[in-house]
Amino acid sequence: MNVPQMQGAQDAKKAKLYCRIGKEVVSAVKKGGPNPESNAALAALIDKFKELDVPKEILERNIKRASEKGQEAFIEKIYEVYGLGGVSIVVEVSTDKIKRSVAVIREVVKDYGGKMADPGSVMFKFRRARVVNIKVTDADRDQLLGIALDAGAEDVIEPPTYEDDSDEDRSESYYKIVSPAENYAAILSKLREERISFETDNGSELLPITTIEVDDEAVELNKVLMSKLLELDDVDAVYTDQK
């Protein structure tokens, strides 16, 4: 098992989350100023990120960044993509340059075998939910089920598995606790109480209403496509209905 590679994947995921958080803070400050007492949107973000255990310096750095000359507010966009084998992919973006983001996304989709879809073509296949991610190596499935359901979770989704998964792939997979908004804080509190590490992915995700199964070749090609999309600075998250 390659520990440095695993740590690199964890660091990359955290960096992506902090980048997304930074964009939200910049946009809130641009719209309402840097004082949370007079900027309700910023105050709500600060409360949200305290709940998610985001380091204070991330917030402070991006409040300062918002006042820098030339820094524009970020605009949120969603791009819909057809992957290989009929798979649907949703790309969430927040960008200060729309033309730049759409150009690089189109280029990656084209280069890695996907196809841009018209707005609304695949979004109906997903639903927005509050989600907590638990690495499979950090919790026993039955223990996690008990904790989640006692705290009011809707469901615990097990990670997909593939025949050619390496030990690293399996160790980097996650259970997903799906929660109603009103029970979300209680679930986080219970996990902390039980000393189970978790990742929130900003507190919400798009989940597929149903999943589709494709052949091994399409699975691998779609994995590469989604990975390349997620590497783009403007991309915050990538979701799929691939099983």
pLDDT in tens, 145-181: 898 888 899 999 888 776 666 666 666 788 999 988 8
More confident residue, 21 or 11: 21
pLDDT band at 14 (very low <50, low <70, confident <90, very high): confident
Please tell me the distance from the alpha carbon of residue 24 to that of residue 62, in angstroms, as a whole number: 9
Task: Kindly state the average pLDDT of the residues 117-129.
Answer: 95
Q: Contact at 8 Å (CB) between 175 and 144?
A: yes
pLDDT for 43-86, tens place per residue?
Answer: 988 887 887 778 888 888 888 888 887 788 788 899 999 999 99
Say yes or no to pLDDT of 123 above 90.
yes
Cα–chain center distance at 188: 17
User: pTM here?
Assistant: 0.76
Please tell me the distance from the alpha carbon of residue 48 to that of residue 32, in angstroms, as a whole number: 17
State residue 4's pLDDT score. 35
Which residues neighbour 60 within 8 Å (Cβ) at sequence distance 6 or greater? none
The superfamily in CATH containing domain 3-66 is Integrase, N-terminal zinc-binding domain (1.10.10.200)
Domain boundaries, the chain: 3-66, 74-243
CA distances for 62 relative to 35, 74, 88, angstroms: 13, 12, 33
Q: What is the DSSP track for 156-216?
A: EEPPP--TT--HHHHHT-EEEEEE-GGGHHHHHHHHHHTT---B-GGGEEEEESS-B---H
Task: Kindly state the average pLDDT of the residues 121-134.
Answer: 93
Say yes or no to pLDDT of 102 above 90.
yes
Query: By C-alpha distance, which of 11, 7, 6, 14 is closest to 200?
Result: 14
Which CATH number applies to 74-243: 3.30.70.980, 3.20.20.140, 2.60.40.2130, 3.40.50.720? Answer: 3.30.70.980
